[in-house]
Every structure is written in structure tokens, then in C-alpha cells.
Copies of this chain bind each other. A is one copy, B any other.
């Protein structure tokens, strides 16, 4: 097992860590379509976004041309608390699969948020603090993003108000307690702390809430309270920019050993992890300097890339957010209660949508049972209990490695292991008890949802 000189885990030194984030948009010939004001149908201007987002983040959001954004020293210091994350050579998995493929994974779960979400949370909190704000608001479903933002706000002594979908608030009390440990106030949504919450509660007494509703409440609180802004953990261009730290570290670690990957695999919900992981590799591909197969993996129950349409749509169920041109199943699409909560989003990052539309990456969907089979197989030999979201990438990586076994090809596969599954053991229990099912939407269901897309763009 130790025949090669490549260690089990490649760590960069602090000096080797990235000093700038990289934006793929700068190298894209076809830029992602701009966000539109849902009222006017016109591209959103900085001044329209300023009441919602921090100034610096608005600049990052709208800038299609700058390739590198310097990472402020304060953020780099924070990154050093839990980064560089290891790039792991999966020797044990390779041996188990008896594959000639060489498998690497970038593991982002070694921090209390349990995922890569902290990479953007700390950046967004930093710019909020720099702008002199009092605090930020956000929504959270399963709780990974809310936890990451709580940690970041605690570090910069910012107030953090998290609107947590009520059903998750009740079913995942542990996530709530982690956020409280970091001093965040966590409110079950819908709540009577906002006008929109009161309205929904009056119309739907006893509702257990939705992400769309929680977004509406968080946005209302941010815009109505002096010194607050709203922050979001995926989909946005700024989030993919911050997450490029994943890919930049991955590439630097591979370059140290002269390794060139053949296939790069990431799970895709809103696109934050995948967009970050592939950034520098896609950059080379866009500039014609190298070629890589890039594979997005999504749940069969929420197949935006593989069964959605490329069109303008709302980012939220409540239809109060800007319109984005993306692969979407329609903002009214309600995915089945798949356990990969982080992938249950009807749309997709506009950057990734454009890249996929232009044929620069592939996508595939996998069903939940096969995902948990891969998760368990991985856990048993690699010693990490993966999150259901991450396990979508594991599934595809194992499938590609098995293909290599059949063809005898020694391909190098890199995948993103976004986080740990410590808070997903209800799902593992269902899997162990043989009670796991999956609900894949019918063509009719998707057609009905897509038929309701706004008539723009």
C-alpha cells in the first residue's frame, strides 16, 4: 500500500495557502447572464443590491472580469484555524475496489460547521464587520450553513440571526445547539418576529415552514433593521469566488507532486462546493491550457442539471429574490424529503449553469440508496463518516474507479468530500434498517413545475 511516495494526506504549508480567490468568470467567453430585477426585468444594479448585501460583496457579485481577488489578511488568519484542508489519497478505498485508478479527495469536514460552508461564511462576516454593520441574517435548512455563519460571526463579534425551517429546528435540535454555542439567535420559521412570518402563520396555521419562507423572513429582518444585511451560503457568484479556495488548495497540492487529474467530481446543490473545487481547473480549460473531465453529481430526486431547463427563474420559493438564468426545475418545485438537504435546491449557480450549457462539464444524477451504499463503503475503509451530500460525489468516484478496473486505465480521480455526517444519523439509521426510499419526480411533475417559470429572458 505504501509503494508510492505520495503521502496519505497532502497538506500545504501556511505559506503555500492561496492569497487570492480566483473567479472563473474572468476566463469565460460566455459570461453568466446577469441577475434581473423581478419587477422591471432589467439587470440589477449595485445600488439595488446594496440594501440587501454588503458593499464589497455586491462588487464581487457583479464583477465579471477580475480574475483574482486578494484574500484579506484577517480572513487568511481565520482560514489558518481550520485550513489548509487535507487532500487525501484514498489508498484504502483503491485497495478495497482493486482499481488501477488513483483516487484523491479534498476533505472539507474538519471544522465544527462540518463542511466547506465556513469558507464563504467567514468572508461574508468579514465584509459585514468591515462595513461597520451590527449583524447579519440568514436562513438555514439542515443547518450546515447556519452553523458556519454562527462560527464566523462569533469570531468577528457580529450579531447573527438565523431563521431555521421549523421542521428542521424541531427535528435537528443538535444543530440548533451548535449555533447557540456560537452565540447566534436561532428562530424557527415561520415566526411571529416578521410581517411575512405572521402572514404565513395566519394563512397556514401549524405549517412546519420552508426554505423559501425562511429566506423571506431573513431578508425582511435585514432590510428593516439598521445595520443588518442578508447573507446566503450558495448559488451566488460571490460564494463560488470564496469557495475557490478549495480548488486552489487542491491544485497546489497536486502540483507539488506533479499530479494531473483526469476526472474531477463534485456534488451539486446550489453549486458552492463544485464551483469552488473546479475553479482553477476550469480556468485552465477555459484558457485552453489543459483539459479535464468535470462531473457534477446531483440527487435523482432534485435533478436540476440533468432534467431541468436553462432559463430565468426565481432563486426562492417565495419569489421575492432576483431572477437568475440557470438550470432550474421551477421555483415551485418541491423536492421529495431526500436526506441530502444541502442538494435540495430547484436551481443552480448561474456560472455553473452557463459552463454546463456550453458543454464544459458533465452532470449525472444518482439515487439515494446507491448514495448511502457508497457512503458506508467509504466510511468503512477511509475512516470518515461522510455527509449524504458529499456521498453523491463518492458514488460517482467509485463508479468511475470501477470503470477503470474494467478497462485497466490508471486514471486519476479527484473528488470533493464536502463534509461529515454526524448530524445525518437518522438517515443512516433508515439505511441500516432497510427503510430508505427515494422519490424521483415524474416527467409530468417536472413539466408542470417548469410550465410556471416566469416569462422573461
B-binding residues in A (CB < 8 A): 1-2, 7-9, 11, 13-14, 73, 77, 80-82, 91-92, 110-112, 118, 151, 154-155, 173-174, 177-178, 180-183, 376, 379-385, 420, 422-423, 425, 428-429, 432
Contacts and interface: CB of A to CB of B under 8 A. Distances in A.
Given A8-B80, A77-B2, A383-B81, A432 B177 contact: yes
A77 B182 CA distance: 37
Given A8-B81, A81-B92, A181 B380 contact: yes
Contacts of A382: 81
B177 A428 contact: yes
5 contacts: A2-B73, A7-B13, A110-B110, A111-B384, A181-B432
Nearest to A76: B2
Contacts of A110: 110
Contacts of A111: 383-384
Nearest to A81: B383
A84 to B, nearest CB: 9
A183 B380 contact: yes
A181 B384 CA distance: 11
Given A2-B77, A13-B7, A112-B379, A180 B432 contact: yes
Contacts of A376: 181
Given A112-B384, A173-B429, A174-B425, A379 B181 contact: yes
Mostly helix, strand, loop or mixed at chain A's interface? helix
This chain's copy number in the assembly: 2
B14 A385 contact: no
Contact of A11 (B11, B384, B422, B429): B11
A82 B381 CA distance: 12
A380 B182 contact: yes
B385 A178 contact: yes
Nearest to A183: B380
Nearest to A1: B77
What 3 A-B pairs come out closest when comparing CB atoms? A174-B425, A8-B80, A422-B422
Contacts of A384: 111-112
Given A82-B383, A177-B432, A181-B376, 8 more contacts: A9-B80, A11-B11, A81-B382, A81-B383, A177-B428, A181-B379, A181-B428, A181-B432
Given A92-B81, A110-B110, A429 B177 contact: yes
Nearest to A90: B81
A182 B381 CA distance: 9
A425 B92 CA distance: 32
A366 to B, nearest CB: 19
